[in-house]
Each structure stands twice: as C-alpha cells, then as structure tokens.
A and B are shown apart, each in its own frame.
Chain A
Amino acid sequence: MGLQTPWLIAVLAALLASRRCWLVMPALLVAGQAAAQDVERGEAIYRTWCQDCHGEDGKGDGPAADRMLPRPRDFVAARYQIRTTASGALPTDDDLMRVMGEGLPGTAMPGWPNLSDDEKRDVIAYIKSLSPFFERETPETLQRSVDPGGGPEAATAGREIFERLECDRCHGRLGRGDGSSAASLEDWRDLPIRATDLTEPWLFNGGMGADAIHTRFLTGLDGTPMPSNQDALEAGIVTEQDLWHLAHYVASLGPEREPDVEEVVRIERRETLPGGPDDEAWESVRAFYVPLIGQIVEAPRQFSPTVDGVWAQGVHNGSELALRIVWDDPSNSPDPEWQEWQDRIAATLYADEVEIPTDPLPDLLFLQFPSEVPEGRERPYFLMGDGRDPVYLWLWHSRRGAVEARAAGLGAAEALDSAGSGLAASAKWEAGQWRVVFRRPLATEEDGALGFAEGVPIPVAFFASDGSSGETGGRGAISSWYYVVLQPPTSRAAFVAPLIAMLVTGGLGMFAVRRAQRSVHSEGRG
C-alpha cells in the first residue's frame, strides 16, 4: 500500500494534466484498490496461519517461537536465508512462493498446500509490507553457470575445494557439523546455531541435490555464519567449476533421498559376530534407520533435540547378539569446549524450566525392551514403561559404558542389582559420530532382563541425549516402538516344501501331456 500510493498520485496528476485522463482513470483506481486488497487479504491469512510463530508484528516472536531452533523468520528485519538472490539482498516473490509451498525441511516451517497460489501471493504481499526494505529494492535472481555434471571425479575435485575453503571449520572433516568452530556458531540474533550435518541432506533447509546446494554457495544463508562465495568467485579464489564440484561433493556425502523407515530391524544370523565399533564386518550388515524426535511428552521437554535419528544393525549366532547403533552428534560430551554451547542452548530453549543443568553432561543412549517377550498385544509404555509394566534397558553412558537397568517411568531407571546378563559395550566417537556396539548372550537367568528368542518380533525403542545441549533427565530424542527380529536358522521345511511343490506340478504336467498325446493317438487310430 505504502509503495503504491505516492506512485499512483504522481501518475494520476500526470494524467489529469493530459486531456484523455477520463479514459484511463477508472482503470487505474481499480488497479490501486486491488493491490491494497492483496495486502489486507494477506494479513487476514497471516493472522490465521502465520502469526503464532512469526509474531503479531512479524518479528518472529510468536508464542511458539521460544521452543524452536532455528527461530521463525523475522519479517521486519527481513533477513532471509533461503533465496536465489545475492548475499544481503531480499528474496524474490518466487523464492517466497517456493518456501510457502514446500516448507523448509529440518525446521518447523511446513508447506502450505491448503492455501491457493493467490492466497500465498496475498500473504507475500503482506509480509513484504512489514519491512521498508522491500520498497527500496527489487530483488533479482542471480545468474548461475550451467552444471558441468557430477560423478566421482567431480566429487573428488570438490573434496579439495571443501578443504581449500575450510568448510570443515564448521561442518567438520566428514561433514557432520562437528567442526572446530561449531560450538561457537551464532546467528544474527546472537542465538546458537547448529552447523548443518551435510550427511543428512533431507534436512537441508534449502532442499537437497547439487543444484540447490550450489545456489546456497552463491547466495549464502543470510543471518547465519554460512557465507556467500560470490566474492571469492569474483576475486578468482574459486572458479565456477570449483563451486559445482564442491556442490557435487557435498551432495555425495549423504544419500540421494531420505532413508526409508521400516518397523522391523532384522538381525542376521551369522557364524561369527562382528567385533568392535569399527570392525569392517559391519559394512556388510544391513542398517535400519530410525528417526528420533524431541521428547515432548513429559517434563522436562525438549522441542529441538540434537539427535534426529539412529542407524541400527545387528547380527546373532544363536547364542549371542551384537547390535551396533550409529548416530551423528557433533560433540563427544562431556567436552569443556562445548560448555558455553550447553549454557547457551539452555538459555535459548529451556528458559521456562525451573532447573537448568550447568554441569558438563555426558551423552546417553537408552535401548528399551520389554522385560519379557510379550505374548498378547500388551507392551510396556513406549516412554520408559510405567509402574505396572516396567521396561528392561540397555543404558549407555559416554564415559561409564553400558549397564542393564529397569525403568518404571521417565527418569526412573535403576541399574539391575547383580552383574545382569553379561551385557558388554564398546563405543567410539569420531568426526561427529557415535558408534556403539552392544553384545549380550541371548539367554538370561536374570530377573527383569529379557531373554532374546529367535523368529519373534521383540519390541525395541530408542532414546538419545546430547549432554552438550543440556539434555539430561528425560530431555533428549525418542522413538516409538520398533521391533527386532532375530533371524531363525533356516528350517528343513524351507527346502522340503518347494521340492514337493515342484514334484506335484511337474507330475501333473507330465500326466496331462501323456493323456493328451494318448487321446490324439487313439483318435488317429480310431
């Protein structure tokens, strides 16, 4: 509205001065009104769907904002991360349309398929009216060079650029967001910001794939420590081709799409079990992805946890079970280098909690099982059981290793009295990733401990806490119930039944052919 008014007056004045003004004036007035309505309609939609996160005045400070990391966009400051325009520039309308249509993966911003394109345009007109900057400049999409193509060579070349541009300082040597400065990163509002884990591209705010990644290199993520490489390009520090190679290298660090989730984690049967967390034998064992979400069921809650998923793989040999759990965590907690980060996360996310932990905290992993294989449908409560039906736990602590425990509710875990069932764990943290191997005999005499039977689904649930983000006492990332199934030895029936089927089918076939041929012969004779 503010933009159009002076302009309209000027045009009207010019037209009034001319003779044919009466011809054009009504049309102009209608056009002016339509533009004003856009903003009004947009505001109505904004009030309904957007303001609870982005705030009444658009400052990104709605009632839900305090629990989010990253925080919702501040439309008044108008620093937009995901754009196709130059560093420091505003986004185009198309950029905003894309974000409203598809949402921002890895954040709380969803796509809005319930709004029509016209409605989205109205909302965009409104949020642009919140910032004076949009009146002053017209954003333009950056011209980009053509992708010379990917492949292993491009990725290898890109790896050199990754090192040359020191991407590892934030993103880490292997891209897991564990770089040397990761613990001190902050955004333009001085809030802590996690370096993106480049091995989980399905959570990239700007989308996955070399093309989207390349766009981020040119535009930078305004308001975050992620810079634009446009200057480096102009200064000749990197070439157009270098940036494409780098984009293909970053794309090669993760899978091409979000991993599928299956309800059953299959435990292969093998003669020998793989050894420690780095044993190469694990490479040939299928890994199952289990997504985790913040524990927001019981206080103390965590709405923006560090760990967003674990990979589970397992092998058994009929008497012993080996399970390897792998997950990305940028810090090997407790780590004094992350102490400041821990305090800042607590101040940013847990401000409404009574007690904020200040000690350096360890990383934790809980594997929950029922205390016996359930016969009917009933199982313990998925969040650490309850008084009626406790869970049997493998509780791993980043400094003390694993113990067997039982829990009757969140924060009510107690180690089993005796030595337990012989659970052993070995763990390794390397380049932003924990790899923990649990080993335990299948059978157990221990009271409250689960005996693992073969060929039946056994419920399992996961719980991971990152100490350096102040996650303790129930704060952390959880899963719902999954199952492990230990592959039973192949029974004789598996070979006998197909043999019988083949004999019967073959026999019937021969019989039919014989009969047919005989009848032809007899016809011929007859």
Chain B
Amino acid sequence: MSRFRSYLSHPFWGSLLVLVFSYLGLKFGIGYLLPAVGVHSAPVPSSVLLQYMLTVFVAILLYVSTDEERWRAFKQPIRDVMVDPARRTMRAVLLVAFPVLAGFVTYGRVRAEVGAPPSLRSIHPAPPNDLTFRGERIRLTSLQNPLRESGLLEERVRTGGRLYVQNCVPCHGDRLDGEGPAAHALNPVPADFTDNGSISQLTESYVFWRIAKGGPGLPVEGAPWNSAMPVWEDILTADEIWSVILFIYERSGSRPRTWEEAEGTGEGDEG
C-alpha cells in the first residue's frame, strides 16, 4: 500500500494517472455520468477530446518542469527505460510497440470509411416577404393570427387540437415534443414545439409559412429535399392552419414572438 502511495507521489506515475483519469472523465463522465444524475449532456466529439487531452498534457508538463527536482524525478523512469541495461527487454518491447501503434492508427485514418455528407441545414431559414396561399397573395411581414381577434378563442383552440391530433401527431407527437410514432424513421427529426428554440422564437406568421408550404417550400439553405413536412395548404384551409397554430402555442405553454420583438433582430437569421 505504501509502495503504491509512493508511486502516486512520483511525478511520472502521478502524471500518467492524471492523464488516464482526465481521459476517462472527459470520455465517459461528461457523456454518460452527467446524464445519469440528471444533468443534460452529450458525449464529447473525438476532435474536441483530443484538444482537451493536449491541454491537460501541456499543463502537466508545465507543472513538472517548474521545479528542477521534480523535473529530474519525472524524467527518471523514461531515462531508465532508455539506458538501463537491466531494462533491455522493456526497451525492445516499447521500441516495437510504439511504431506498430502508430502504423495502426495511420491505417485506420487512411482507410476511414466514407460517411454521409454533413447536413448543413438551417433550422429557421429567413422567410419570404409574402406568399401565395391557394392563389391568394398574403403579405407575411407584420401578419397577425386573425383568429386571436375573433373571440371564441377557446373554441378555435379546440378545433386546432382536433386537427393537430388528426394530422400532426404521427410525427410531432401527442406531447408536442417531436416524438410521434413515425418520428424514428425521419431525418431530419420533426420539430419539438416544447423546445425553447422552436416556436417560441418565431412569429405566428413564420409558423403559418412553414405549415402552409411545408418541406418543399423551404429555401435551399433549409434543405427542402429532406423535410417530410407536408404542404398543408393542399389539405387544410387558412383558418384551420391558424387554429392549429393557436393550439400548439397554447398546449406547449409558449408565446409567439411578436413583430415588435422580431423587428431589428431580424427573424430567422439565427439559423
């Protein structure tokens, strides 16, 4: 035990241990341990992991080299392996192992498999100024949901709910979280209306545009060829779409962005 402790206090073995623990912590701690205790997190990509590990390595070198004695102690095991006649076997093994490892890593890199091209899709592309809805020209800028002024709001929300459940649930889900029974087969995944970055960032006119024109109506930066969002103007009337909009805001507990808020910041630029 005491021998183990003396190893730990040795600069070389201590540093090695720090490196190993940093690796484990960054690789598994952030991605898997944090979510297990309820903190929102995701695995660290390998390129970022490499950056972190380099930082840790440099920090270790700085630390061990600040003190002459520590630096000598740190170098000792490395030097021993290189020169000590008693460590011949170890030396030979390492001299073979390192090149083999390097060759292996290089082979993996060179032979890297062709993956799917990256999807550089803009989630909220800039909307047009106006659109043609079933032959009728509608100006989107400053457009408000006409049903909010019509009274009978509760009734309209109920209509919207009925239409939502008949048409939207397979993808956007009963809970409006984009996890409907068909969502697993879609790429890109359906929008999650309960997410802060979703409809609460948008004006109702924007949402109207997205519903009316669907995937095929997206500009090129929205990758219109990928989205399975139907062109709802072919199926629903304008009033029906507006009532669905009322419903999704009401049920998700979010508030549409107003034109005053949208002005100046330039809606849709966030992409």
Interface, chain A (partner B; CB < 8 A): 48-49, 52-53, 62-64, 67, 107-108, 110, 112, 114, 261, 263-264, 266, 291-294, 296-299, 303, 377-383, 386, 389, 455-457, 479-481, 483, 485, 490, 493-495, 497-506, 509-510, 512-513, 516-517, 520
Chain A residues within an 8 Å CB radius of B184: 261, 291, 293
Partner of B228, one of A383, A494, A509, A513: A383
Chain B window 159-198, contacts with chain A (Cβ cutoff 8 Å), 1 for yes, 0 for no = 0011011110110011101011110111100000000000
Contact status A63-B169, CB under 8 Å: no
B162 and A481 within 8 A (CB): no
Beta-carbon nearest neighbor of B163 in chain A: A63
- Residue ranges of B at the interface with A (Cβ–Cβ < 8 Å): 79, 82-83, 91, 94-96, 98-107, 109-111, 113-117, 120, 161-162, 164-167, 169-170, 173-175, 177, 179-182, 184-187, 214-216, 220, 223-226, 228-231, 234-235, 251
Please give, as numbers and ranges, the residues of chain B lying within 8 Å of A510 by CB-CB distance.
Answer: 95
Instruction: Give the residues in chain A near B113, CB-CB below 8 Å.
Output: 264, 266, 485
Residues on B with C-beta less than 8 A from A497 are 106-107, 109-110
State the Cβ distance, A68 to closest chain B Cβ, in Å: 10
Nearest Cβ in chain A — how far from B5, in angstroms?
A: 29
Contact at B117–A377, with CB atoms within 8 Å?
A: yes
Complex Cα spacing A479 to B228, Å: 10
Cα distance, A386 to B216, chains bound together (Å): 9
B175, A112: Cβ atoms closer than 8 Å: yes
Q: With CB as the reference atom, state the residue of chain A lying closest to B94.
A: A509
Question: Is B170 within 8 A of A505, CB to CB?
Answer: no
Write out the residue numbers on chain A whose beta carbons fall within 8 Å of the beta carbon of B179: 110
In whole Å, how far is A101's beta carbon from the nearest beta carbon of chain B? 13
How many contacts between A and B, using CB within 8 angstroms?
Answer: 158
Residues of A within 8 A of B180 (CB): 110
Contacts known (A263-B116, A297-B228); A62 close to B216, Cβ less than 8 A? no
Residues of B within 8 A of A480 (CB): 185-187, 226, 228
Instruction: List, in ascending order, chain A residues with CB within 8 A of B224's CB.
Output: 381
> Do the beta carbons of B83 and A378 come within 8 Å of each other?
no
A406 to B215, CA, bound (A): 21
Which of A53, A67, A296, A377: most chain B Cβ within 10 A? A377
Q: 19 A-B contacts, Cβ less than 8 Å apart? A: A49-B175, A53-B165, A62-B165, A107-B181, A110-B181, A261-B184, A293-B170, A293-B186, A297-B229, A298-B231, A379-B225, A380-B225, A457-B117, A494-B111, A500-B106, A502-B102, A505-B99, A509-B98, A516-B82
Q: A264-B113, A500-B106 are in contact. List 4 more A-B contacts (CB 8 A).
A: A63-B162, A378-B225, A480-B228, A506-B99
Q: Is B234 a contact of A298 with CB atoms below 8 Å?
A: yes
CA distance A517 to B96 in the complex (A): 18
Whether the pair A490, B165 counts as a contact (CB closer than 8 A) is no
Given A264-B115, A292-B185, A457-B117, verify A499-B166 contact (CB < 8 Å).
no
Q: Are B82 and A479 in contact (CB under 8 A)?
A: no
In angstroms, how far is the closest chain A Cβ from the Cβ of B170?
Answer: 6
B107 & A506 in contact (Cβ 8 Å cutoff): no
B110 touches A513 (CB 8 A): no
Report which of A298, A382, A503, A516 forms a contact with B99, defined as CB distance below 8 A: A503
Q: What are the residues of chain A within 8 A of B216 when measuring CB–CB?
A: 381, 386
Which of A110, A303, A494 is in CB contact (< 8 Å) with B174?
A110
Which one, B114, B182, B214, contacts A294 given CB within 8 A? B182
Given A299-B235, A457-B117: A506 touches B98 (CB 8 Å cut-off): yes
Give the CA-CA distance A499 to B214 in the complex, in Å.
53
- Bound CA–CA A498/B101 (angstroms): 10
Most chain B beta carbons < 10 A, residue from A263, A383, A497, A501 = A501
Contact B98 A505 (CB under 8 A): yes
Min CB distance, A350 to chain B, in Å?
14
A500 to B98 Cα, complex, angstroms? 13
Find out whether the CB atom of B91 lies under 8 angstroms from the CB atom of A457. no
Q: How far is the CA of A125 from the CA of B109 in the complex (A)?
A: 60
Chain A residues positioned under 8 Å from B96 (CB to CB): 506
Residues of A within 8 A of B102 (CB): 498, 501-502, 504-505
Inter-subunit contact B117/A516 (CB<8 Å): no
- Give every chain B residue within 8 A of A53 (Cβ-Cβ): 165, 174
Closest to A510 in B: B95
Query: Given the known A-B contacts A110-B181, A516-B79, are A382 and B226 also in contact in the complex, defined by CB atoms under 8 Å?
Result: yes
Are A481 and B166 touching (Cβ within 8 A)?
no
Residues B170 and A303 in contact, CB atoms below 8 Å apart: yes
- Tell which of B185, B226, B230 touches A291, judged by Cβ atoms closer than 8 Å: B185
B187 close to A494 (CB less than 8 A): no
Contacts of A455 in B (CB 8 A): 114
Inter-chain CA distance A264–B116, complex, in Å, is 6
Q: B230 to A52, Cβ gap below 8 A?
A: no
- Closest-by-CB residue of B relative to A108 is B181
A381 (CB) vs chain B CBs: closest residue: B225
Q: How far is the CA of A107 from the CA of B169 in the complex (A)?
A: 12
- Min Cβ gap A477→B in Å is 9
Q: 9 tightest CB-CB pairs across the interface, nearest first?
A: A52-B165, A506-B99, A293-B182, A502-B103, A498-B103, A501-B106, A516-B82, A505-B102, A502-B99
On whether the beta carbons of A64 and B166 are closer than 8 Å, the reply is yes
User: Do residues B107 and A498 form an inter-chain contact, with CB atoms below 8 A?
Assistant: yes
Report yes or no: B165 in contact with A498, Cβ–Cβ below 8 A: no
**In the complex, chain B residues whose CB is within 8 Å of the CB of A509:** 94-95, 98-99
| Bound CA span A292–B182, Å | 8
Q: Known interface pairs A263-B187, A480-B228, A502-B103. Does A67 touch B166 (Cβ–Cβ under 8 Å)?
A: yes
Min CB gap B174→A, angstroms: 5
| A501 vs B102: C-alpha distance when bound (angstroms) | 6
Are B91 and A513 touching (Cβ within 8 A)?
yes
> For residue B100, which residue of chain A has the nearest CB?
A502
Contacts of A386 in B (CB 8 A): 216
Instruction: Pick the residue among B104, B225, B230 that contacts A498 (CB under 8 A).
Output: B104
Q: A263-B187, A298-B234 are in contact. Are A493 and B226 (CB under 8 A)?
A: no
**Known contacts A381-B224, A493-B110, A497-B107: A296-B99 contact under CB 8 Å:** no
Which residue of the partner chain, among B167, B181, B225, B251, contacts A481 with CB atoms under 8 Å? Answer: B225
Q: How far is the CA of A287 from the CA of B224 in the complex (A)?
A: 29
Checking B116, B165, B226, B229 against A457 with a beta-carbon cut-off of 8 angstroms, the contacting residue is: B116
Query: Which residues in B have their C-beta under 8 angstroms from that of A500?
Result: 106
Q: For the complex, give the distance between the alpha carbons of A67 and B116 in Å.
A: 35
* Neighbour of A520 across the interface among B83, B107, B162, CB < 8 A: B83
